[in-house]
A and B are shown apart, each in its own frame.
Chain A
């Protein structure tokens, strides 16, 4: 194709998205659209999968059967969400194995929030309430994104995610209304997860490299700073309701903006964690790569068994 022809196709493509038409796997798309979607969608899938690890830590130690079945169901949902998103990414012509390789080799990123440790039961509450809360804010606009398979996967994810946040808040509420030690535990978890949850919504708008292009392709509907403000405004009253204090001395209602002003975020910490120097980066990758490598004989055995059954069936036909 000549440069002019490509330019023409690109213009038509952008016009389709501007008209709110969806792009489907076999449609022509610019290389950059394909690559950006593979990057963002696989990053999203990896985050779901790695996100199971900090919570898996607490399954055997959940304080009651009610909490245990809920946590198990939440983690199973995350596995499911990872799978919806991986298969949606595969429609762009990349294989599952390539995607796993990118994660395991450190080439692909996942949400940096999962590189923090889960040291008390209250962390299960804080993750559900804050981390899933921030994730929902990020994800709801994606139900309407331009790439059909991604939008469809996100609709399923969003439907399932709201129980995650509610079960987390319920854990925090119970602890906050419990003994003084339990309330301290809840406050301590909020103290540790608050700032990483704010960072989870991404770098500030002036530092975010992908925003303009992503807005055009409806990979993003609101900027990181707007999403962060929305998260803060909706979460502060939730903390107040259960008597917990947001760990930010500068947090203050701004009557003119009808929004909360908030303190400086430690972006050095964010970039350190993104670059692999968070408290749990190595541990998470070790667990993930370990699970993949130790599962290889199972995957091979399943394939060998399937082949044998197939051959037996063919013999019977003859």
Chain B
């Protein structure tokens, strides 16, 4: 079988119940989006684990590189003033 005929990889996101976000459940191979949805139903929701499924072809996902985590996430590390505990208030103060 030639390589170009291989079924592409899809990432599967499932909302387990209304009110919750879609969460990444795993991946699977399928010829197209419709088949990916049907296969995701069988592979990831055999026991009522979901009320909604998203499928995205894996190649369309752009991911950050963990080797660059330093420069990417470091700017948040020294900004303690973004947290409520940074501010000194008297203990008597209520509802704040």
Interfacial residues, chain A to chain B (CB-CB below 8 A): 24, 26-28, 73, 76-77, 80, 83-84, 87-88, 90, 95-97, 152-153, 160, 296, 299-300, 302-303, 305-306, 309-310
Contact = CB atoms under 8 A, between A and B. Distances in A.
Interface size class, chain B: 20 to 34
B9 A300 contact: no
A84 B5 contact: no
Contacts of A97: 1, 3, 6
B66 A27 contact: yes
B35 A90 contact: no
Given A87-B26, A300-B5, A160 B47 contact: yes
Interface in B1-21: 1, 3, 5-7, 9
Contact of A80 (B7, B9, B46, B65): B46
Contacts of A84: 26, 43
B74 interface: no
B26 A80 contact: no
A300 B35 contact: no
B28 to A, nearest CB: 6
Contact of B63 (A26, A152, A309): A26
A interface majority secondary structure: helix
Contacts, number: 58
Contacts of A303: 5-7, 31
Contact of B7 (A24, A87, A153, A299): A299
B26 A302 contact: no
B4 to A, nearest CB: 9
Chain B, interface SS category: mixed
A84 B28 CA distance: 8
Contacts of B31: 299, 302-303, 305-306
A300 B1 CA distance: 9
B2 to A, nearest CB: 9
B32 A26 contact: no
A309 B26 contact: no
A302 B29 CA distance: 12
Contacts of A95: 6
Interface of B: 1, 3, 5-7, 9, 26-29, 31-32, 35, 42-44, 46-47, 63, 65-67
Contact of A153 (B1, B5, B26, B42): B26
B51 to A, nearest CB: 18
Nearest to B3: A97
Q: Which of B3, B7, B35, B43 has the most CB of A within 10 A?
A: B43
Contacts of B6: 95-97, 303
A144 to B, nearest CB: 18
A302 B47 contact: no
A27 B63 CA distance: 12
A32 B80 CA distance: 40
Contacts of A299: 1, 5, 7, 31
Contacts of B43: 80, 83-84
27 contacts: A24-B66, A26-B63, A26-B66, A28-B66, A73-B46, A80-B42, A80-B43, A80-B44, A84-B26, A84-B43, A87-B9, A87-B28, A90-B9, A90-B27, A97-B1, A152-B26, A153-B26, A160-B47, A299-B1, A299-B5, A299-B31, A302-B7, A302-B32, A303-B6, A306-B32, A306-B35, A309-B32
A153 B28 CA distance: 13
Contacts of A296: 1
A76 B28 CA distance: 15
A240 B74 CA distance: 61
A27 B66 CA distance: 6
B32 A310 contact: yes
A84 B29 CA distance: 11
A90 B10 CA distance: 12
